[in-house]
Amino acid sequence: MVLLAEINTKVGSLPLKKPTMLASGIMDEDAGSMKRIIKCGAGAIVTKSIGLKPREGYPNPTLIELEYGILNAMGLPNPGIDNFGEEILKLKKSKTPIIGSIYGANSKEFIKLSQKMEDYGASAIELNLSCPHAKKYGLEVGSDPKLIKIITSSVKVNVNIPVFVKLSPNVTNISKLAKAAESGNADAIIAINTVKAMKIDLDLRRPILSNKIGGYSGQAIKPIGIRCIYEIAEHVNIPIIGVGGILTGEDAIEYMMAGASAVQIGVGIYYRELDIFNKINKEIEQWMDKHSYKKLSEIIGAAHL
Amino acid sequence: MVLLAEINTKVGSLPLKKPTMLASGIMDEDAGSMKRIIKCGAGAIVTKSIGLKPREGYPNPTLIELEYGILNAMGLPNPGIDNFGEEILKLKKSKTPIIGSIYGANSKEFIKLSQKMEDYGASAIELNLSCPHAKKYGLEVGSDPKLIKIITSSVKVNVNIPVFVKLSPNVTNISKLAKAAESGNADAIIAINTVKAMKIDLDLRRPILSNKIGGYSGQAIKPIGIRCIYEIAEHVNIPIIGVGGILTGEDAIEYMMAGASAVQIGVGIYYRELDIFNKINKEIEQWMDKHSYKKLSEIIGAAHL
Amino acid sequence: MNIPKITKILDIQNEAKNVKTITFKYPNKSKPGQFFMIWIPGVDEIPMSVSYLDKDIKEITFKKIGDATSALYKLKKGDRIGVRGPYGNGFQPKGKQVLFVGGGTGIATIAPAVEHTVKNKNKATVIIGAKTKDELFFEDRLKKCGAKILVSTDDGSKGFKGFVTDLAQDILKKENIDSIMTCGPEQMMKTLLTYSNNIYFQASLERYMKCALGICGQCCIGEGLRVCMDGPIFDGETLKNVTDFGVYRRDSAGRKVRF
Amino acid sequence: MNIPKITKILDIQNEAKNVKTITFKYPNKSKPGQFFMIWIPGVDEIPMSVSYLDKDIKEITFKKIGDATSALYKLKKGDRIGVRGPYGNGFQPKGKQVLFVGGGTGIATIAPAVEHTVKNKNKATVIIGAKTKDELFFEDRLKKCGAKILVSTDDGSKGFKGFVTDLAQDILKKENIDSIMTCGPEQMMKTLLTYSNNIYFQASLERYMKCALGICGQCCIGEGLRVCMDGPIFDGETLKNVTDFGVYRRDSAGRKVRF
Ligand SMILES: Cc1cc2nc3c(=O)[nH]c(=O)nc-3n(C[C@H](O)[C@H](O)[C@H](O)COP(=O)(O)OP(=O)(O)OC[C@H]3O[C@@H](n4cnc5c(N)ncnc54)[C@H](O)[C@@H]3O)c2cc1C
Ligand SMILES: Cc1cc2nc3c(=O)[nH]c(=O)nc-3n(C[C@H](O)[C@H](O)[C@H](O)COP(=O)(O)OP(=O)(O)OC[C@H]3O[C@@H](n4cnc5c(N)ncnc54)[C@H](O)[C@@H]3O)c2cc1C
Ligand SMILES: Cc1cc2nc3c(=O)[nH]c(=O)nc-3n(C[C@H](O)[C@H](O)[C@H](O)COP(=O)(O)O)c2cc1C
Ligand SMILES: Cc1cc2nc3c(=O)[nH]c(=O)nc-3n(C[C@H](O)[C@H](O)[C@H](O)COP(=O)(O)O)c2cc1C
Ligand code: FES
Ligand code: FES
């Protein structure tokens, strides 16, 4: 059967052939991995969050599978921005947008990182203001509307590519933070990063992750992500990218109805193989055909009455 | 086989024969239901959250079952404190502690409600400062440390029974709020209330719950609850009661290792029948026997290295 | 997952004054006496007994009495409703000869059980009670299935004039009834229970329902019996110990409302 | 769930200088060439090949080289470790006559595959290579199973003096080998691959691992081949297209480290 629906979309000025992007931190530390994911049908790639200096991350265990999701505290391991250039440069010929995710402790760091990402050829910048378990770099900056606004606007004036802001659900009021990003001229909001959580080993009477607290992703957090997107969409006028527990085409559509212009997929690759991008793209098309939708624009934000 | 472990516990000055309490809002709006749960082995009963005036709650749908948990937005329906007296009075002869849960918009309301609960014979008060979906009554009061401290301390000086404070996970820093409750002389902290979440119906393109946003409970939120208890335990010196996704004896033990002196069970009754209290009590005893623990005090807080 | 499944209304029938039947596709095993939660989007979600059941198709029959039922009443063929369920336990008559007593819309709840009884080669006597002739329905349908039908109206506009319970008492004396199955106003059912003596008795109760999953406690009677889950059908022995039976129900806030 | 299962150390054997084998209960189906993540609580969690497998009992054999292996080295019988897995694909030799080449601790990874090959009535020739005599292990064990064992040491303190690859090249000329299975230093394996011609070739790779579930991307080589999941064993055809094979690995931060 020929699928009739068109699933291209755009996030602000960034057009995407497919609405399914690779989420930051998953199979995106080197050019080879990102190439493989592009072949699997991702509409865009977000790199691992990169900082100024190389960072080893926490000792293992850093990631475990819980009953209904994945718990991780990698601790933002990354080779540092200077080593990362060659990875992005290798992807130069790819027609799939590469979005450079970066983390920092203050505006100065974010500016430097985003300028380098732009130089390397990234199509957009994703400001990770939401790592739930990295001291100094995560929620410390990502839960303060003033800091969000300052960091966003200072990056904005220093680069010419779109700037996206990734938010955490571990806050009292996520739409306030989204508004802060908007007022800092962010081009889009991404939500959600992982949810702060913990697993204790009963035999050894200790948290399993070396960092004790980790970030929860996968199926279990989808209803939290949907809620965040919905709340954000009620408060901002810039595009939103939805992420958190997307495993199927219907999950992606639910996020889009909540207000997402595109979606990201993280640990879904564990549950449905790397090919999950192709699978979900197809499922979206099939669902749209069945329900007589022709374009994603008919779906995006549809649940706001 | 005779079970050797003793599972009695205490929450501050309140002794409990069994560590499993009924969580607020589940089968606890009338004396008959609470009696039935007592017969099922609960160590204590927390009543539905009661306010000054009768409240109908939101229109249906108010509760649905998701893949890995329950989503609800009842809207705090309750008959009002004056109608509730007879329900508690009917339980006067019960040896199981009845804890009166109350909600209000300010200290004055909380004081009035707790005095009435005390008059009716409640063994303790649970201040619900954490309903995620009731405007004016929930997070508006429950996410501000100053308000938490004021409300807690003003209730404390007006009643002679223990006062517990129930906190929400939908905040940036739950331990700050727990500390505020402690500094208001709370006798214990209860965590967690439900996690803000949403489910959208794809066919009708609308949130299913009439209130749109609801509170997520059940299995999926357990890792979030464990993390909250662990964080709170690192910051306060008063007892903690753990709640959120407890379905088995091992779940309860995980909460206790994280720092809970007792646990509450909510939607577990859906997954394992009303008898879940007896089942979990027995599972705790069996686990303790197998692992050579004699008393819960050897387990409570054990995961703090 | 237990969320409403969206389905299209296939057909609508007028049954009596302010009473309609809605037919919809809902492939699912259901038993007579069980109920669905019917979601009228943007309005409410309310419990409704299955009034006709088939492998793929189900029906509900309801009276327009308030917001939700009025909205339901206005829906047209092709409109969409949400359905979840079936919930509850269902009727389980004992013996060969069953007396069914339906008061008001209670007959909607009872009808599938009548047909089921006849299909199982047992004898069914049905008393349909209503205030007045215009409110009667399902007489023809149940006659067609082979049940013996008796009608009573409070005003005598059709059939026996007076309370359905009086007519029932009469039948109980004359016929050799093994079980009584009833649905209708609670005081009617309570009176019927006092008439039942030792005959096996089951009554279907209505209580305000929110979750329908046995969690919220909204629908509880007696010592924590959940009408949505332990019921909606309870036997006489159980109901004798339920002090609220026929005395009060609770409104949406949990306040007692006397019948 | 995929979390470490806590198990007690049943036995500990000294194998060679700084090399020990730890025996523990872990009822689970594993295949030769697969690996576990071994949690040394409070220290680290590291990948370790299964060096012996039985329905209920498993063993790992490791060399003390850093923090985690030193902590593991210090553990006593009865101490507890966490184990998750097995992960990865396992060896799959083709044909009747298999050449195994193990360099350093690589022999630990290879041993179960050798035994499995012999058990399946195929012929196994094993070359065990080490820097010096003191570092050799599993010679007796593998002899006992019926494999033909050859030893090489860099310093000639035992067996053939020189590179294990030279010895292998010799065998490849003399014997009619159907597959080559290897584990050891990557440059050794790469050299072996160039010697292999058209003989079916599989090499077990080691990369820094974090999740072991194919999620984090830490262990990737080539175009996104996950050593933890698509490997750790890759065939020659695949490795010929992996430009990093034998050239560099990545450290915990993802920086390239040349071999
Ligand atoms: C198990 C069960 C099966 C039922 N089956 C049928 C049936 O087959 N046909 C039929 O006509 N009616 C049936 N009812 C009654 C039906 O649910 C109510 O008539 C309907 O909910 C009224 O809604 P409303 O908004 O139109 O009225 P409102 O004006 O909102 O309320 C009128 C009265 O309806 C009742 N009611 C309202 N909402 C609910 C609710 N969520 N749960 C229970 N009662 C409610 C209350 O008693 C209320 O006082 C059943 C009820 C139950 C509990
Ligand atoms: C699939 C696989 C199977 C292995 N099987 C065996 C075996 O059977 N016997 C054996 O002795 N060794 C084996 N290793 C190597 C073993 O994992 C490392 O020797 C061990 O991790 C060293 O840890 P350390 O803390 O003692 O050393 P460190 O001083 O921390 O590190 C020394 C070196 O060990 C490696 N290493 C450290 N941590 C890891 C990690 N998490 N993942 C991968 N490499 C790491 C790095 O190359 C590092 O440079 C295997 C590795 C892999 C990937
Ligand atoms: C192993 C792992 C590493 C991650 N690393 C990052 C990161 O570096 N930067 C970031 O913004 N988010 C990171 N995340 C969060 C994901 O991008 C995503 O927001 C989250 O996992 C929820 O999506 P999912 O449920 O589809 O995985 C990471 C998640 C996982 C599981
Ligand atoms: C239907 C329902 C109603 C609830 N009502 C209340 C309430 O009135 N007051 C309150 O403090 N918590 C209320 N809660 C939250 C629970 O007490 C509990 O904190 C939460 O459900 C997590 O525990 P669980 O996963 O065991 O259900 C309610 C939860 C549910 C599911
Ligand atoms: S309606 Fe919630 S328990 Fe019955
Ligand atoms: S270790 Fe994470 S992908 Fe292999």
In this prediction, residue A83 has a pLDDT band, given cuts at 50, 70 and 90, of: very high
Distance CA D144, CA A303 (A): 70
The Cβ of residue C92 has, within 10 Å, a number of other Cβ atoms equal to: 15
Establish whether this prediction's ipTM goes over 0.90: yes
Tell me the longest C-alpha to C-alpha distance in chain D.
51
Characterize the bridge pairing of strands B214-217 and B70-72. Answer: antiparallel
Alpha carbon C250 to its chain centroid, in Å, reads: 19
Q: What is the pLDDT of residues B113-171, one digit of tens each?
A: 999 999 999 999 999 998 666 667 767 678 899 999 999 999 999 999 999 999 999 99
Do residues C105 and C99 make contact, with C-beta atoms less than 8 angstroms apart?
no
Q: What is the pLDDT of residues B230-285, one digit of tens each?
A: 999 999 999 999 999 999 999 999 999 999 999 999 999 999 999 999 999 999 99
> How many angstroms is it from A63 CA to the middle of ligand 6?
10
Query: A53 at the D interface (CB within 8 A)?
Result: no
Indicate whether C230 pLDDT > 70.
yes
CB contact under 8 A, C218 and B29: yes
In Å, how far are D49, D116, D170 from D98, measured between CA atoms? Answer: 20, 11, 15
* pLDDT on residue A142: 80
> How many angstroms is it from D58 CA to the middle of ligand 1?
63
Indicate whether D126 pLDDT > 80.
yes
Taking Cα atoms as reference points, which of C51, C58, C52 lies closest to residue C28?
C58
* pLDDT on residue C157: 94
Residue B131 bears catalytic tag: yes
**Token pair for B105:** 């918009």
Do residues B192 and B228 make contact, with C-beta atoms less than 8 angstroms apart?
yes
In Å, how far are B289, D13, D82, D91 from D79, measured between CA atoms? Answer: 21, 14, 10, 31
Q: What is the pLDDT of residues D10-43, one digit of tens each?
A: 999 999 999 999 999 999 999 999 999 999 999 9
Query: A83 at the D interface (CB within 8 A)?
Result: yes
Ligand 6-lining residues (CB < 6 angstroms) = D 209-212, 214-219, 226, 228
Query: A217 at the D interface (CB within 8 A)?
Result: no
Indicate whether A2 pLDDT > 80.
no
Do residues B11 and B239 make contact, with C-beta atoms less than 8 angstroms apart?
yes
Q: Give the ligand with the smallest distance to the CA of C207.
A: 1
Query: B48 at the C interface (CB within 8 A)?
Result: yes
CB contact under 8 A, B258 and A200: yes
For CATH 3.40.50.80, list the domain ranges present in chain C: 91-204
Do residues C97 and C121 make contact, with C-beta atoms less than 8 angstroms apart?
no
CB contact under 8 A, B199 and C218: no
Using CB atoms, pick whichever of D84, D210, D220 lies closest to residue A27.
Answer: D220
* pLDDT on residue A305: 81
A219 lines ligand 3 (CB under 6 A): no
Backbone angles phi, psi at C21, to 5 degrees: -115, 135
CB contact under 8 A, B219 and A302: no
Structural domains in chain A, sorted by start: 9-54+79-193+219-298 (3.20.20.70)
Q: What is the pLDDT of residues C101-130, one digit of tens each?
A: 999 999 999 999 999 999 999 999 999 999
The Cβ of residue D157 has, within 10 Å, a number of other Cβ atoms equal to: 15
For CATH 2.40.30.10, list the domain ranges present in chain D: 5-87
* pLDDT on residue B135: 66
Do residues B167 and B181 make contact, with C-beta atoms less than 8 angstroms apart?
yes
Do residues D204 and D197 make contact, with C-beta atoms less than 8 angstroms apart?
no
In this prediction, residue A138 has a pLDDT band, given cuts at 50, 70 and 90, of: low
The residues of A assigned a catalytic role are 131
Judge: domain D91-204, CATH 1.10.8.420: no
A9 lines ligand 3 (CB under 6 A): no
Per CB-CB distance under 8 Å, the chain A contacts of D234 are none
pLDDT mean across residues, chain D: 95
* pLDDT on residue B142: 80
Per CB-CB distance under 8 Å, the chain C contacts of B53 are none
Q: What is the pLDDT of residues D74-110, one digit of tens each?
A: 999 999 999 999 999 999 999 999 999 999 999 999 9
Q: What is the pLDDT of residues B66-108, one digit of tens each?
A: 999 999 999 999 999 999 999 999 998 889 999 999 999 999 9
In this prediction, residue D197 has a pLDDT band, given cuts at 50, 70 and 90, of: confident
Residue B123 C-alpha, separation from nearest chain C C-alpha, in angstroms: 21
Indicate whether A70 pLDDT > 80.
yes
In Å, how far are A220, A263, B45, D106, D144 from A268, measured between CA atoms? Answer: 12, 12, 40, 33, 46
* pLDDT on residue B141: 75
Q: Which residue of A has its CA nearest to D84?
A: A64
Amino acid identity of residue C51, one-letter, is: S
Instruction: Please report the residues numbered 221 through 250 in chain A whose beta carbons come closer than 8 angstroms to any beta carbon of chain D.
Output: none
C46 lines ligand 5 (CB under 6 A): no
Q: What is the pLDDT of residues A46-62, one digit of tens each?
A: 999 999 999 999 999 99
Q: What is the pLDDT of residues C203-217, one digit of tens each?
A: 999 999 999 999 999
Say how many Å lie between the first and final Cα of chain A, rounded: 34
Residue A213 C-alpha, separation from nearest chain B C-alpha, in angstroms: 7
CB contact under 8 A, C217 and B199: no
Query: D71 at the A interface (CB within 8 A)?
Result: no
* pLDDT on residue B130: 83
Which residue from C21, C22, C48 has its CB within 8 A of the most atoms of ligand 1, so it is best to mutate?
Answer: C48
Residues 6 or more apart in contact with residue B244 via CB below 8 angstroms = B169, B191, B192, B217, B221, B222, B224, B225, B228, B266
Judge: domain C5-87, CATH 2.40.30.10: yes
Indicate whether A135 pLDDT > 70.
no
CB contact under 8 A, A54 and D222: no
